[in-house]
Amino acid sequence: MEPREIIKEHYNLCECVHQLLLEENSWLKVEKKPPEMDFLQRKKEIVDRLESSLANLKKLKPEFFSPFDDTKKLVGESHSKLLQIFYLDRENEDLLLKYNQSSDRETFSRFTIDPNEIGEHPDRGI
């Protein structure tokens, strides 16, 4: 496969990842809970494709690039899209943490006994 084709394919995959993360972000903001399993499966599949694409990118050598096509522009666009992905993924992680912590805090009790029973303690004489 030509370097331009590999980079174009990677850019298209980055577009798919970005769209998937936007979908996850909307879900998290509306539903206020982690996505369903089918969404997580789609996310896993696209991550596997992304890893394969990254392996193909690592095989590219600069001397194979043509100075006459738009390869340099595609690399820049891919880099820009990856930055958007990183930012959005971080926001989604923060939302996931927020929603998971809130449910943990609701069920957390620092006391091992009911606070109403404290007044009945025999050594206090209350």
Question: E strands, the chain, where?
Answer: none
One pLDDT digit (tens) per residue for the chain, 126 residues: 788 899 999 999 999 999 999 999 999 999 999 888 999 899 999 989 989 998 998 888 878 777 788 888 888 999 999 999 999 999 999 999 988 875 555 555 555 555 566 665 566 555
Contact criterion met (CB below 8 Å) for 26 and 92: no
Global pTM reads 0.74
Contact criterion met (CB below 8 Å) for 46 and 85: no
Per-residue pLDDT, 99: 85
Per-residue pLDDT, 92: 94
Per-residue pLDDT, 86: 93
Give the C-alpha distances (Å, rounded to integers) separating 9 from 37, 88, 100: 27, 21, 36
